[in-house]
Amino acid sequence: MASLPERRRRFLLERRAAGVAVPEVRLLRKPLIPKSPLRSARGPHVIALGGGKGGVGKTFLAANLAAELARLGYRVAAVDTDLEGANLHTWLGVPRPAASLADFVAGREADVAKLLVDTPVPNLALLAATGGNPNAAHPEGPHRAQLLMGLRALDRDVVVIDCGAGVHPAVIDYFLLGDDGLLVLHPEPTSLENAYSFLRAVFYRRMHLAMMNHQVQERIAECMDQRNERGIRTPQDLLREVQAMDSEDARRFVETMRAMRPRVVVNEASSADDVRLGFAVKGVCRTYFGLDAEYAGYVNRDDAVRRSLEKRRPLADVEPRSDAAVYLKRIARKLAEAIGERREPAGARR
């Protein structure tokens, strides 16, 4: 259990955030859902974590949220798509995965499901990204589409994707595969700049894929260049352009924009200002992109995270009462509620 000074620090941090904090979730002994729930007909619920910048904690969050959801009774697959810097296997205590995404990219195995390996966490399997070829860091074209379809077809309740860093089209496609997209931030200027660039790339990529008119698609591709000669700088500028070109695609543009609901997570928060950062980014999403983002929560800076990595075990296994573990449980419960809302038709679960 957290020491008295640690609990007092947690309390003060939340009070100083002026109403930002979510009330602490009671740690239930019973799982939120029954073991091995039925998978929906449309496949697993996909949660993708991105943010543009490396080192902000995407892999830490992916590993630990996947483990938390597995403990709640979901059958989970954690997927590492970073063939240039795979780390998810280390966080989950799988030192030498017998198979990895590299086997798919190299053409050695076409069935993604056969690349899953067990982890020490019950209900949790891993698709690692070890042994990648630097000259083929991402599958291209139809091969990438095959991978995306393979992830959607996994016989799991939940798939958690660690999207890796950068704004390569493959990274953006992995993020867009998610039913829930978690935008991971670190409270520092470089992370915020990269998160904005990442979200911008996600927005334009999604719009490009949603449009039917080839000329509109070309215009969107042109606007991906922030210094484009047409002077289109914001999504609202682009919408006006689309409205002038094709009213049906303009309607589709608005519907697609409304359907995009990224969830913001702040990692390693250490002050009330850091906690408030999630709400500031939520406001930027609304003002600039017209997106109704949600602040899913934050995880505070905690030395217990480093200790869990040294032991190569999820945080809840090593120090379940640490501050960071408590905040992770909050986010996992919120995700589980969303999964239930979206995936649980009447009588679907036993």
Rounded distance between C-alpha atoms, residue 128 and residue 109, angstroms: 14
Q: Which residue has the tokens 């109403």?
A: 19
Q: How many residues does the chain have?
A: 350
CATH code at position 79: 3.40.50.300
Domain containing 144 equals 37-343
Residue 50 lies in a domain: yes
- Tens of pLDDT, residue by residue over 79-97, are 999 998 899 999 999 998 9
- Tens of pLDDT, residue by residue over 43-83, are 899 999 999 888 899 999 999 999 999 999 999 999 999 99
Residue 25 lies in a domain: no
Residue 62 lies in a domain: yes
Residue 7 lies in a domain: no
pLDDT class of 1 with cuts at 50, 70, 90: very low
Residue 6 lies in a domain: no
Mean of pLDDT over the chain: 86
pLDDT of residue 184: 96
Residue 4 lies in a domain: no
Residue 30 lies in a domain: no
Residue type for position 22: V
User: Which residues, in sequence order, are CB contacts of 308 under 8 Å at separation 6+?
Assistant: 314, 315, 317, 318, 319
Residue 285 lies in a domain: yes
pLDDT class of 13 with cuts at 50, 70, 90: low
pLDDT of residue 340: 78
- Count the domains in the chain: 1
- Tens of pLDDT, residue by residue over 286-326, are 998 889 999 999 999 999 999 999 999 999 999 999 999 99
Q: Does the pLDDT of residue 32 top 70, yes or no?
A: no
Q: Which helix (H) or strand (E) holds 118?
A: strand 117-118
Q: Which residues pair with 267 in a beta bridge?
A: 299
